[in-house]
Structure 1
């Protein structure tokens, strides 16, 4: 009888811990033309937490990260321009320790509550919906439609440097490979 109660209790604890860890996210409808200044408090708080630090993606397949740098918007405050109400950052994306893409991104309130959206100024398809977990960690969705799939939530940790590629040292110079003529 004690074995049965023990197994039952263990299975209940397992089910409860799984239910607690399966975080669900909501989606709210916001004006598609919303501007940064309307939500500047949470946006500036997030930018101050992530700026000028190296953030490494923490998944098995991710070998790179991102560095955010505040961008001084020369059009800020000019309401007759598209970017007049935009708080912006420059995001430099890395593969291992090599920069592979730099993008000017506009910050605004995300349609996922608790997140701040960064989208590419030149390409709105480039998105990061970020929420800070603590001073050394943030989580991100790649679009506002991924909130239904918590497994697509990426975690980034603050690091001193990005990983070096393990393949660099295996490359041979033309002389070493014998292709030099």
Structure 2
């Protein structure tokens, strides 16, 4: 009889943990011209938590990550400019431990509640909708349309350094492979 109770209890715990992990997200309509200033509190708390750390995406064997750095917006507070109401960060994207893209990003309230949107100053297609899970983890969607697909939610962990490429050591210099130009 005791094993039946243990089995039922274990089944309930498993079912509860499955339903808890199947999180659903919604979207709200916000003004397309909203600025960072309107939602400065949540934006600044997330940017401060992100800045200066290496964030490795999804799993430990993923080969890339991102580093956010503070960016001083010299036009901040000047309403006559496009970036006058913008809190900005510089994002450097990595493949293994090599930087591959640097982007100036504007932060504003995301249309996914609980998230902050970072979009590229030069290219609005470059987006990350981020929420902090704890001091060492954030989750992100790559666009505001992905909220319908919880499997698209990416998890980033704070790391000391990014993974090193296994292929770098296999590359030979021109002298080593006998090629001279």
Same fold (TM over 0.5): yes
2:94 corresponds to: 94
Unaligned 5+ segments in structure 2 are none
Structure 2 length as normaliser, TM-score? Answer: 0.92
1:147 corresponds to: 147
**Separation in structure 2 between the aligned mates of residue 152 and residue 50 of structure 1, nearest angstrom:** 21
**Separation in structure 1 between the aligned mates of residue 133 and residue 3 of structure 2, nearest angstrom:** 40
Q: Using the TM superposition, name which of 146-155 and 15-24 deviates more.
A: 15-24
1:71 corresponds to: 71
Indicate the RMSD between aligned Cα atoms, in angstroms. Answer: 1.8
Structure 1 SS opposite 2:103: strand
Asked whether the equivalents of residues 51 and 69 of structure 1 are also in contact (C-alpha less than 8 Å), the reply is yes
Within-5 A mapping of 1:18-167 = 18-59=18-59, 62-167=62-167
Asked whether the equivalents of residues 54 and 158 of structure 1 are also in contact (C-alpha less than 8 Å), the reply is yes
Structure 1 SS opposite 2:176: helix
Unaligned 5+ segments in structure 1 are none
Structure 1 SS opposite 2:112: coil
Asked whether the equivalents of residues 59 and 154 of structure 1 are also in contact (C-alpha less than 8 Å), the reply is no
CA deviations 1:80-135 (Å, max 9, x no partner) are: 11111001000000111100000000000001111110000010000001111111
Structure 1 SS opposite 2:78: coil
Shift of 1:9: 5.2
Structure 1 SS opposite 2:65: strand
